Amino acid sequence: MSKTVGMMQPYLFPYIGYFQLIEAVDVFVLGDDLQYVKESWINRNRILQNGTDRMITFPLKKGDHRAKINERFFAENFADEMNKLARVIYNAYVKAPQFKKAFPFLEEVIKHPETNLAKYAENSIRKICGYLGVSTPIVVASDLGVGAVADKQDRVVKTVKRMGGDTYINPIGGVDLYDFDFFREHGVELKFHQINALEYRQFSNAFVPLLSIIDALMFNDVAEVRRKLACYSLLDSEKIRTSFCDQCEPCRLVGVG
- Encoded amino acid at 204, one letter: S
Q: What is the mean pLDDT of each run of 10 residues along the chain (257 residues)?
A: 94 97 98 93 96 95 92 96 97 98 98 97 98 98 86 94 97 92 96 95 92 98 97 89 46 38
End-to-end CA distance of the chain: 31
Alpha carbon of residue 254 to chain centroid? 14
> What pLDDT is recorded for position 150?
76
Pick the closest to residue 154 from 138, 178, 172, 189 (CA basis): 178
pTM of the predicted model as reported, rounded to 2 decimal places: 0.92
> What pLDDT is recorded for position 189?
97
Q: What φ, ψ does residue 100 adopt, rounded to 5°?
A: -60, -30
Pick the closest to residue 5 from 122, 162, 169 (CA basis): 169
**The 3-state secondary structure of 204-242, one letter per residue:** CCCCCCCCEHHHHHHHCCHHHHHHHCCCEEEECHHHHHH
Alpha carbon of residue 58 to chain centroid? 16
> What pLDDT is recorded for position 238?
80
Domain boundaries of the chain, sorted by first residue:
4-253
